[in-house]
Amino acid sequence: MKMSRRQFGVAGFSAGLAAITAPHMALALNTVEARALVDRLVAEIFQVINSGQSEAAMLREFERILARYADVPIIAQSVLGPPARSASRAQMRAFTEAFQGYIARKYGRRFREFIGGQVVVTDGRQVNRYFEIISTVRLRNESPFELRWLVSDRSGQDRFFNLIIEGVNLMTTERAEVGGMLDRRGGDLDALIAHLRTVG
């Protein structure tokens, strides 16, 4: 499913802003902690948005925040899909690094759409082994809409691993995008990695 302009924008805000997982204690995370994670993430992103930095500096900050709050290895492996099973460890490390930069650049450039906006966490609940944190996004000249953050500690740390933006699954959207890039390169993962380092 193709994202609308505002869905694309909010994906950039949060992309964002991920299985490569470490052993974890079942249900060590709780709803209060998951909500607090999202609150901290939102606060840090708005601090960058309102900082007046150049776009290049903002993108660097966004990638730093993405690495801190998103379970990028899990997201990257899920987005890559079946080819991840045959990739070497070195290839997966390279893909994950390239994917992180690609996501930061692709969506981070939409930051300015959030100037004067607001993201408010309104609810949270446990769903199986993860937590769904529900927030309302209010942008200037836009109707409010819902953003759901999926949060887990399966990697050993509290991280978000997916976003649902007005019913659109960000991980599914990126899986289609990246899958298309890989298909156009004849299934050559190394070529895809090189491409991801240059786009976004």
Beta bridge partners of 130: 127
Q: Rounded to whole angstroms, how far apart are CA atoms 24 and 158?
A: 11
Strand partners, 149: 133, 163
Tens digit of pLDDT per residue, the chain (200 long)? 444 445 545 554 444 443 323 333 345 799 999 999 999 999 999 999 999 899 999 999 999 999 999 999 999 999 999 999 999 999 999 999 999 999 999 988 887 788 889 999 999 999 999 999 999 999 998 999 999 999 999 889 999 999 999 999 999 999 999 999 999 999 999 999 999 999 98
pTM: 0.82
Q: How far apart are CA 180 and CA 50, in angstroms?
A: 35
| C-alpha to C-alpha distance for 136 and 41, rounded to whole angstroms | 15
| Percentage of the residues of the chain whose pLDDT score is greater than 90 | 76
- Could you tell me the domains of the chain? 5-14+26-196 (3.10.450.710)
